[in-house]
Amino acid sequence: MDVVLTSEGLAAIQAAAPGHVAAVRETFIDRLSAQDLATLDRLSATVIDGLHNPSHCPNGLRHARRLRRPGTNVISVVP
């Protein structure tokens, strides 16, 4: 699936970015301790690795890859 970003769309993202970053920092990041941030970093790396390398997912989620809807990026996860 290809996504094309128009110049108007890019301008809208660029205009919204500073406020979005400030809001995320104020409401989320600044409320976490150094230990919380280290944990978030580790967890995020695990999730991103699993997205890029589905074979690295725990057994409980490995089946989700088989439930990908054909022709889409939608994955149904069944517990």
At 78 the pLDDT is 46
What is the count of structural domains for the chain?
A: 1
* Domain extent for 47: 7-67
Domain for residue 1, yes or no?
no
At 66 the pLDDT is 46
- For residue 37, give the nearest of 19, 20, 25, 49 by alpha carbon: 25
CA dist 20 and 78 (Å) reads 33
Cα separations in angstroms, 15 against 8, 11, 20: 10, 6, 9
DSSP secondary-structure letter at 69? Answer: P
Asked whether residue 8 carries a pLDDT value surpassing 70, the answer given is yes
Domain for residue 57, yes or no?
yes
- For residue 54, give the nearest of 42, 79, 76, 46 by alpha carbon: 46
Looking at per-residue pLDDT, the higher value among 12 and 56 belongs to 12
* Dihedral pair phi/psi, residue 72, rounded to 5°: -135, 175
Domain for residue 51, yes or no?
yes
